[in-house]
Structure 1
Amino acid sequence: MSRKPAHRLPTGSFPGSSGIEHAGLPRALQRGATALALGSALLLAGCLGESAQDLVSSAKAHLEKKDNKAAIIQLKNALQKDESLAEARYLLAKALLESGDIAGAAIEAEKARSQGFGGDALTALQARLLLMQGKVDELIGQYGSRHLQTAADEADLQTTLVGAYVAKRKLGEARKAADAALRATPDSVAVRLVNVRLLTSEGKLPEAREEIDRLVAKSPQAAEAWQLKGELQVLADAPAAESIASFRKALELDKKLVGAHAGLINQLMRTGDKAAAKEAVAAMKAAAPQHAQTFYYAAVFAMDAGQVKEATALTQALLKVAPNNERALFLAGRVAQANGDQRQAEANYAKLIQAAPEAQSARVALAQLQLRGGDAEQAMTTLQPALDGKAPSAEVLALAAEIRLKQGQGAEAERFLARAAEVNPNDVRSRVGLALGQIQKGQDGAGVAALRKLSAEDKGTSADIALISVLARKKDYEAATQAIASLEKKDPKSSTAPELRGRMALLRGDRAGARAAFDEAVRREPTSMTAANSLSTMDLQDRKVEDAVKRYEVVLKADPKNLRAEMATMGLKLAHKLVEKDAAIKRLTELARQHPDDPTPRQAAVGLLMEQKDFKTALSLAQEGVTASPDNPALIDLLGQVQAATGDRQQAISSFNKVATLQPRSPLGPLRLADLHLLAGDREAAAAALKRAQAIGPGDGELARKVVEKALQMGRPDLALVAVKGLQQAQPRFGLGWKLEGDVARSRRDFVAAVTAYRKADQLAAEAGATTANTELAIVLHSTLIEAGRKDEAERYAAAYLAKYKTDELFLYHLGDVALNSGRYPEAEQRYQAVLAANPMNAAAANNIAWLRLRAGKADEGLKFAEQANKLRPNVPPYMDTLAEALAAKGQNAKAVEVQKEAVKQAPSVPAYRLRLAQLYVAGGNKGDAEAELKRLADLGPNFEQQAEVRKLQAAIR
């Protein structure tokens, strides 16, 4: 994906953004073959003769001049002479921090403390180190209530706390800390700068600009004040020339001020002055060659110039000094894509999303890669949080349309394109949206003509996608095929066109044509998982499981390291019992070690081990993953889940807390902690964790759903309502907020309020132009009407819903269940038959019809439908149980016993299956086996409610 470089990097985005370069190693003394001049020899002799204290004094002088590089050299020389100098350790820590070496600074500061160096200065420094390391909670916990005696150190500590409180969004506490710093050193430029930044965070931009003007007037030689003045001018949308002048003034005063370099480059790029921006990057390289932001901008310009090799080297250097920085990871993803390393690109984007779930650009980039890799479902999962956000971009909506079209959901693809038009009316996608709007208003001819014109004019594919979708929906397959041919001319080597032809053939019922088209897609792109998925699905429908597996083996032959293909292969083999679980675990473990940063194979292997109750190996494998990638939240989360399952609650809490620390903007950690506390019966701790999760993303629909579900589970509807109201306030036109409100009301058995909320959600969906069924909402609304005793209204609603969505098999199945539970067997069977008519592959409907036929005394039909269900979904215990009953009804008792024994083997903890097995043994005269099964059931006592039947059978065989 080609993207323009972002224009502005906020101050402090990279470690050490004060503008001082990282210290390099001291140059080796060059010894010539000729004798040195006497003066040089004497000078050299004098240096070698300096004492450790002399070197420390020299370092202090360098620090006063802000020459940290020279100071570091002197301090390291001093410590070589006398490593017990605690003050030198402290000064070295300070110099390293100013140079951006946070890890080295932390080590030296701890050594200084352990060697007895104390006082306010070290306290302030260690607090600042915690902030730079992102350990905000630890910082506030240790130093939040501390005050230091020395005014300068007190100001240092309080300004550090300002940063911590802003990071936690506690602006009130941040203001108290800033005021304390101002009281300590009212004339300090550094403190006043922090105050100006806080005013900006508080939304007081005019006051911030007035204060910075006062500061610049009083301290005109303060370079950082000029830098901040430039940043505020940018925020206020002042003319670019003003901010450029401010940044240049800052650099005139201090050429090593990295933030000013960044601000200048951003503004020059924004104005389109590439030549001047390139010169500014060169100046930044000269002033701070090892700084993270220098690597960043140099890499951006290298990419822009097509110098991929240089950009790769620069991003690798960047990630060494800023491994978790969001912009660094995004740029590294772009560079990896340019190199053709899709796996590394995905890993970079995924890591960015873990740290910043709201990052739309990263979600788009990752979803595009996943879609290109053939995993449309995963691509939509990746993109969904951006779609659920307050303001999804036109790019997000257009990509969602492309995904839905590839999934065969043309109507929803059109809806996304129409929304894209609303977001950005000047974009080509907006013109596409306007054309779709004409079609929706019944102006089909004008709308289709507009789409054809756009398709011919635009090099992109948005118009083509919309046109193909519209024509396919109208069943004008010939015209749709022509539109696909037009799209194909734009990218003749791509597999997209034949894939679309395949989907078109499926719509026409031409399975042979679809196979041919998908085969052509594979020929063009053997690594295309989309085509492999389509062919594999068709193979499974034809019950050719081994052929389905071979589809992914073709991908693996073309791309032996394709993890998605490996996982798809393993998934099919496990689901259809083509591989033993032990062999699967072995292979998944190998894949986990080959892909240490990808949690998928390790998660699958650990899941299988947990199923087998091999907790020791599962724990070892999970721990191995964390050891290999200690900062991978998904692997730490996996370890926490195993620890929780094995009863190691404290270690699990520690793991989930680490997940929360690594992903402060992700609710995963708090949600895991809520589950853990709930399992332990600690409802207060669970509630506190849920509150933290909800506070992270009040406008996140999926998060609100999870919070509501867990809050209701623990009997806290008040907590659930907080999440509901937060979602409604953030997204007032999003129906989910009202659907969840209905769930809360229903849990309280306030059916009137629940129905009102559900109908509001339904109304919002209609107003938004939804064209697809919201089955979940329909089912809960219908069920609530029945629970409220409003059966006539429920019937009217069901009839109206089915008139609009005639083939919604899930709603039809729900109606079947309602009738079944009410004892209306003929109506239930009618509903299940409708489900089968809509989807002949629905095994559950076939199983229920079999059960109903048996109750009606129609054993032949019961057996036919039971066999159908088991053929569609083999080895499913409830379906095997029905089949055994049907076989017994037909007098095939021996065969029924074999089927029922397999059902018991698959689900040994379900006593009802054992009871039927015992009944079959009794019917077949097998008293010994019957007694064994009945004894197991009798030992369950009141935990099995059918003890009367157990005693009856025991009496029968005595």
Structure 2
Amino acid sequence: MPNRFRTTLSSLPLQLALACTLATSLAACSRTPPADELVADARRYRDQNNPKAAIIQLKNAVQQQPDNGAARLMLGQLYLDTGDMASAEKELRRARDLGAAPGTVLPALGRALLLQGQYQRVLDELPAESATPEALAARGHALLGLNRPDDARAQFQRALDARPGLADATLGLAKVALAANQTGQADQLADQAIAQHPDSVDSLRFKGDLQRAGNEREAARATYERILKIKPDNVQAHVDLANLDIEAGNFTKARDQIKQARKAQPNSLLIFYSQALLDFREGHYKASLDQLQQVLRAVPDHMPSVLLAGAVELALGSNIQAERHLNRFLESDPGNAYATKLLATVALRNGQADAALKLIRPLVEKTPDDVELLALAGEAEMRARHFDRAAGYFEKASQLKPDAPSLRLAHGVSRLGLGENPRAIAELEQASQADPGGGRAGVLLVLTHLRTKQFDKALEAVDAMIRTGDNPMLQNLRGRTMK
């Protein structure tokens, strides 16, 4: 045998031994810790307010041990805390099926369903007979979501009888009070819930929402920021801050908050909704609709998304789709002012003035000082050729908001319809002063002067528009006044 082969063969056992040693060491280096260690690590990360790291460890644990109910329970709770409700529901169901304690898993599952707007499923899956105080509170919140405040109050009271001081039940009674327009009592109960449990994120959020509804924006901001001090990765708090900024028109700040929320939980439906709201306010209607479709595919009954989808479709000119979404929303919240106004706008676009008035008139009786509603009512009455009623609505709207030229213009037009030329001219003059460069109000003013044979005033008005505007049509209008 040639020497080179003898040498190779003689060294083969050593090479194999080295290879085996290397393979063993690599396996040892890459070996995943046992599931129990991973769960312990996750618990440690959770206690350090690092839910992302905890979730990674738990996902590794359930990959090793798919039937580890404790790991799935903790994973579901962490998904719940970070705002990934669909994943939370999935893991909590697995934990329940694997024998997790009902007193722990069912309230968490109920909360995941609540936050997806699946109120009836909460009642179906958390039977009242065997419910813990926490589960009774979850049932109460579901009943409140189904517009059954009296039944909700009874569930919250049962929960408090069984466990006095339960923050979620106290908070539920606060929400019942708010539903009955008892804002003072709602605020008092919210403070009571926070005093009982200062770190209760839900109670703090409700308090922030009350402050926001009362136009206490800075106080609401401070409350939401307090939540982030307790739970820095709380997606809902970031979204609430983003929504505050959206309402105030601070779109750059809103984007920053959404970005922070996305870092904590990229797939949260809350983030998709908030991004849709931001896109809508910025006029990016198609982008907004894309975000909403992601929410509604996962949670078809998320009513805020249904309402926003109606507004977006209306802005896109898709009247049929807008009407479908808005009718569906109003089935769950009859008489909602915003949805009713949008649906009336759809009716007007479809040439159905009488249908619009049927929606609007009861609303005007309830909120007679809503300027937007008065303007919409005026437009509907004018389309129906009820010029006297239209003039009344526009006049009141103009009085409530005297610096709105569009309202004065509409009031002037309605007076023209009544043949009240002097009053029409007065309103059109006011409107044209706000847009002196040849806007619709100025043109209507000139035409009205011509109709009443006040040619000097018509010429004076058109010359004033020519001096301040560059609309080439004004010269044609001037030529008409000279004839």
TM over 0.5: yes
Q: Which residue of 1 aligns with 2:142?
A: 164
Deviation per CA, 1:723-782: give whole Å up to 9, x if none: xxxxxxxxxxxxxxxxxxxxxxxxxxxxxxxxxxxxxxxxxxxxxxxxxxxxxxxxxxxx
**Residue 419 (str. 1) matches residue 393 (str. 2):** yes
Deviation per CA, 1:199-220: give whole Å up to 9, x if none: 5445554444445556656755
Q: TM-score, normalising length from structure 1?
A: 0.37
Question: C-alpha separation between the residues in 2 aligned to 1:163 and 1:457?
Answer: 53
**Residue 124 (str. 1) matches residue 101 (str. 2):** no
Residues 254/119 of structure 1: CA separation in 2 closer, same or farther (3 Å cut): closer
**Alpha-carbon contact 1:400-1:413 (below 8 Å) kept:** no
**Residue 234 (str. 1) matches residue 212 (str. 2):** yes
Partner of residue 247 from structure 1, selected from 224, 248, 256: 224
Question: C-alpha separation between the residues in 2 aligned to 1:98 and 1:41?
Answer: 37
Question: In the TM superposition, what are the counterparts of 1:470-481 in structure 2 within 5 Å?
Answer: none
Deviation per CA, 1:318-337: give whole Å up to 9, x if none: 44455444443444455556
Partner of residue 146 from structure 1, selected from 124, 129, 133: 129
Q: CA offset at residue 136 of structure 1?
A: 4.0
**Alpha-carbon contact 2:371-2:400 (below 8 Å) kept:** no
**Alpha-carbon contact 2:340-2:360 (below 8 Å) kept:** yes
**Alpha-carbon contact 2:165-2:196 (below 8 Å) kept:** no
Residues 267/309 of structure 1: CA separation in 2 closer, same or farther (3 Å cut): closer
Q: Secondary structure at the match of 2:366?
A: coil
Where do 5+ consecutive residues of structure 2 fail to align?
1-21, 463-468, 472-483
**Alpha-carbon contact 1:387-1:397 (below 8 Å) kept:** no
Question: Structure 1 counterpart of 2:34, which letter?
Answer: E
Q: Which residue of 1 aligns with 2:476?
A: none
Q: CA offset at residue 396 of structure 1?
A: 4.3
Q: CA offset at residue 159 of structure 1?
A: 1.5
Task: Percent identity, please.
Answer: 22
**Residue 449 (str. 1) matches residue 425 (str. 2):** yes
Partner of residue 30 from structure 2, selected from 45, 51, 62: 45
Q: CA offset at residue 462 of structure 1?
A: 8.9
Q: TM-score, normalising length from structure 2?
A: 0.66
Partner of residue 81 from structure 1, selected from 41, 61, 64: 64
Q: CA offset at residue 447 of structure 1?
A: 1.6
**Alpha-carbon contact 2:428-2:445 (below 8 Å) kept:** no
Deviation per CA, 1:802-859: give whole Å up to 9, x if none: xxxxxxxxxxxxxxxxxxxxxxxxxxxxxxxxxxxxxxxxxxxxxxxxxxxxxxxxxx
Question: C-alpha separation between the residues in 1 aligned to 2:362 and 2:54?
Answer: 52
Question: C-alpha separation between the residues in 2 aligned to 1:266 and 1:332?
Answer: 17
**Residue 260 (str. 1) matches residue 245 (str. 2):** no
**Alpha-carbon contact 2:137-2:155 (below 8 Å) kept:** yes
Question: C-alpha separation between the residues in 2 aligned to 1:330 and 1:461?
Answer: 33
**Alpha-carbon contact 1:326-1:356 (below 8 Å) kept:** no
Q: CA offset at residue 287 of structure 1?
A: 4.0
Question: C-alpha separation between the residues in 1 aligned to 2:410 and 2:185?
Answer: 43
Deviation per CA, 1:556-582: give whole Å up to 9, x if none: xxxxxxxxxxxxxxxxxxxxxxxxxxx
Question: C-alpha separation between the residues in 1 aligned to 2:198 and 2:71?
Answer: 33
Question: C-alpha separation between the residues in 2 aligned to 1:207 and 1:46?
Answer: 58
Q: Which residue of 1 aligns with 2:361?
A: 387
Question: Structure 2 counterpart of 1:45, which letter?
Answer: S
**Alpha-carbon contact 1:296-1:314 (below 8 Å) kept:** yes
Q: Secondary structure at the match of 2:233?
A: coil
Q: CA offset at residue 128 of structure 1?
A: 4.1
Residues 382/42 of structure 1: CA separation in 2 closer, same or farther (3 Å cut): farther
**Alpha-carbon contact 1:158-1:178 (below 8 Å) kept:** yes
Q: Which residue of 2 aligns with 1:298?
A: 275
Question: In the TM superposition, what are the counterparts of 1:491-510 in structure 2 within 5 Å?
Answer: none
Question: C-alpha separation between the residues in 2 aligned to 1:221 and 1:355?
Answer: 32
Question: C-alpha separation between the residues in 1 aligned to 2:128 and 2:445?
Answer: 60
**Alpha-carbon contact 2:381-2:389 (below 8 Å) kept:** no
Question: Structure 1 counterpart of 2:208, which letter?
Answer: G
Question: Structure 1 counterpart of 2:360, which letter?
Answer: A
Q: CA offset at residue 376 of structure 1?
A: 0.5
Residues 402/193 of structure 1: CA separation in 2 closer, same or farther (3 Å cut): closer
Q: Which residue of 2 aligns with 1:724?
A: none
Question: C-alpha separation between the residues in 2 aligned to 1:43 and 1:317?
Answer: 43
**Residue 376 (str. 1) matches residue 332 (str. 2):** no
Q: CA offset at residue 105 of structure 1?
A: 4.5
Question: C-alpha separation between the residues in 2 aligned to 1:58 and 1:233?
Answer: 39
Greater length-normalized contact order (CA 8 Å, ≥ 6 residues apart): 2
Deviation per CA, 1:581-609: give whole Å up to 9, x if none: xxxxxxxxxxxxxxxxxxxxxxxxxxxxx
Question: Structure 2 counterpart of 1:426, which letter?
Answer: L
Question: C-alpha separation between the residues in 2 aligned to 1:317 and 1:277?
Answer: 20
Question: Structure 2 counterpart of 1:444, which letter?
Answer: E
Question: Structure 2 counterpart of 1:449, which letter?
Answer: I
**Alpha-carbon contact 2:85-2:268 (below 8 Å) kept:** no
Question: Structure 1 counterpart of 2:140, which letter?
Answer: V
Residues 360/478 of structure 1: CA separation in 2 closer, same or farther (3 Å cut): farther
Count residues with an aligned counterpart. Answer: 427
Residues 430/96 of structure 1: CA separation in 2 closer, same or farther (3 Å cut): same
Q: CA offset at residue 232 of structure 1?
A: 3.2
Q: CA offset at residue 295 of structure 1?
A: 3.0
Question: Structure 2 counterpart of 1:178, which letter?
Answer: F
Structure number with greater Rg is 1
Question: C-alpha separation between the residues in 2 aligned to 1:183 and 1:391?
Answer: 38
Residues 171/396 of structure 1: CA separation in 2 closer, same or farther (3 Å cut): closer
Q: Secondary structure at the match of 2:156?
A: helix
Residues 357/78 of structure 1: CA separation in 2 closer, same or farther (3 Å cut): same
Question: Structure 2 counterpart of 1:50, which letter?
Answer: P
Q: CA offset at residue 108 of structure 1?
A: 4.7
Partner of residue 335 from structure 2, selected from 358, 378, 383: 358
Question: Structure 1 counterpart of 2:269, which letter?
Answer: A
Residues 371/212 of structure 1: CA separation in 2 closer, same or farther (3 Å cut): closer
Deviation per CA, 1:76-110: give whole Å up to 9, x if none: 44444344445555445444444545455445555
Residues 81/123 of structure 1: CA separation in 2 closer, same or farther (3 Å cut): same
Question: Structure 2 counterpart of 1:261, which letter?
Answer: H
**Alpha-carbon contact 2:357-2:380 (below 8 Å) kept:** no
**Alpha-carbon contact 1:363-1:382 (below 8 Å) kept:** no
Q: CA offset at residue 168 of structure 1?
A: 4.2
Question: C-alpha separation between the residues in 2 aligned to 1:189 and 1:219?
Answer: 7
Residues 351/67 of structure 1: CA separation in 2 closer, same or farther (3 Å cut): farther
Q: Which residue of 2 aligns with 1:536?
A: none
Q: Secondary structure at the match of 1:425?
A: helix
Residues 345/110 of structure 1: CA separation in 2 closer, same or farther (3 Å cut): same
Residues 294/449 of structure 1: CA separation in 2 closer, same or farther (3 Å cut): same
**Alpha-carbon contact 1:322-1:328 (below 8 Å) kept:** no
Q: CA offset at residue 160 of structure 1?
A: 0.5
Q: CA offset at residue 190 of structure 1?
A: 4.7
Question: Structure 2 counterpart of 1:255, which letter?
Answer: P
Question: In the TM superposition, what are the counterparts of 1:301-320 in structure 2 within 5 Å?
Answer: 301-305=278-282, 311=288, 313-320=290-297
Where do 5+ consecutive residues of structure 1 fail to align?
1-36, 149-153, 493-958
Question: In the TM superposition, what are the counterparts of 1:105-120 in structure 2 within 5 Å?
Answer: 105-115=88-98, 117=100, 119-120=102-103
**Residue 177 (str. 1) matches residue 150 (str. 2):** no
Question: C-alpha separation between the residues in 2 aligned to 1:431 and 1:280?
Answer: 39
Q: CA offset at residue 418 of structure 1?
A: 1.5
**Alpha-carbon contact 1:395-1:420 (below 8 Å) kept:** no
